[in-house]
Structure 1
Amino acid sequence: MALWDRIKESASQMQTQLEARKNELRSGAFRDASMAMCALVAAADGGVDPSERQRVAQLIAANDVLQNFPADDLRRRFEANLDKLTADFAFGKVSVLQEIGKAKKKPAEARAVVQIGIVIGGADGHFDRDERAVVREACFALGLSPHEFDL
C-alpha cells in the first residue's frame, strides 16, 4: 500500500473512532486541548500561511466531533493558539502543549486529542515529519505513548 493511501486510511480510521465517542467528548478540557492541537499541527513547521490557517479552520468547522461546540468559539480558541505560536514559536509551543496537557486527566479525551491532531495533519494526504513530531510531543504532554498511534 502506498504511503499516501496509508495516511488517508489512518486519518479515516481515527475520524471513525472519534465519531463513535462523540457524545463522550463534550468537556471544556477536550475542546481547549483540541484547538491547541489543531493550532500546533497547523504551525508545526514554525509558521502558518493564510491558506493553511483557512484550511485547518475549515476542517475544524466540518469535523463532526467538534460540532459539540459553537463554531465561533472553536475558531476564537484556534486563532488564539495560533497567535501564540506565530508570535514566538518556541515559547508559544510551551504554552500550547500545557493547554493540550489539560486533557490528560481523562484518557479517552487525551487519546481523542491525539487523534484530532492526526486527522488534521493527515487531511491533505501528507502527514509530514514536523506534524508527526509535534503530535508526538503532545502525546508526552498527555502521558500517552506515541507508539500507540504509530508515531
Structure 2
Amino acid sequence: MALWDRFKESASTMQTQLNTKKNELKGGGFRDASMAMCALVAAADGTIDPDERQRVASLIAGNEVLRNFPAEELQQRFNDNCQQLMADFAVGKVSLMQTIGKVGKKPNEARAVVQIGIVIGGADGDFDRTEQGVVREACFALGIPPSEFDL
C-alpha cells in the first residue's frame, strides 16, 4: 500500500474513532486543545497562508465531533491561536503546546486531540513531515507515545 493511501486510511480511521467518542468529548479543555492542535497543524511549517487557514477552518466546521461546540466559538479560538503563532511562532507554539498538555490527564481527550491533528493534517492528502512533527510533539506534551499513532 502506498504511503499516501496509508495516511488517507489512517485519517479516515481516526475520524471514525472520534465519532464513536463524540458524546465524551464536550469539555472546554478538549475544545481548547483541539483548536490549538488545528492551528499548530495549519502553521506546522512556521507560516500560515490564507488558503491553508481557510481549509483548516472549513475542516473544523465540518468535523462531526467538533460540532459539540458552537462554530463561531471554535472559529474565534482557531483564529486567536493562528494570530498568536503569526505574531511570534516560537512563543506561540510553546503556549499552544501547553494548552494541549492540559488534557493529558484525560486519556480519551488526549488521544482525541492527537486524532484531530492527524485528521486535519491528512485531510488534504499530504500529511507532511512538518505536520507529523507537530502532532508528534503534541504526543510528548500529552504523555502519549507517538508510536501509538505510527508517528
Would the TM-score normalized by the shorter structure come out above 0.5?
yes
Report the 3-state secondary structure (helix = DSSP H, G, I; strand = E; otherwise coil) of the residue aligned with 1:93: helix
Q: Take 1:63 and 1:75, find their aligned partners in 2: how far apart are those partners?
A: 12
Matches of residues 54-65 of structure 1 in structure 2 within 5 Å?
54-65=54-65
Amino-acid identity (%):
74
Q: Take 1:142 and 1:3, find their aligned partners in 2: how far apart are those partners?
A: 26
| Residues 39-92 of structure 1: CA deviation (Å, up to 9, x unaligned) | 000000000000100000000000000000000000000011111111111111
List 4+ stretches of structure 1 deviating above 4 A. Answer: none
Alignment partner, residue 99 of structure 2: 99
Deviation of 1:4 (Å): 1.3
Q: Is 1:144 matched with 2:140?
A: no
Deviation of 1:3 (Å): 1.3
| Residues 7-37 of structure 1: CA deviation (Å, up to 9, x unaligned) | 1100000000000000000000000000000
Amino acid at match of 1:127: F
Say how many residue pairs are matched: 151
Deviation of 1:2 (Å): 1.1
Instruction: Provide structure 1 residue ranges, at least 5 long, that are not aligned to the other structure.
Output: none
RMSD: 0.5
Instruction: Provide structure 2 residue ranges, at least 5 long, that are not aligned to the other structure.
Output: none
Matches of residues 1-151 of structure 1 in structure 2 within 5 Å?
1-151=1-151
Question: TM-score by structure 2 length?
Answer: 0.99
Report the 3-state secondary structure (helix = DSSP H, G, I; strand = E; otherwise coil) of the residue aligned with 1:125: coil
Q: Take 1:104 and 1:28, find their aligned partners in 2: how far apart are those partners?
A: 14
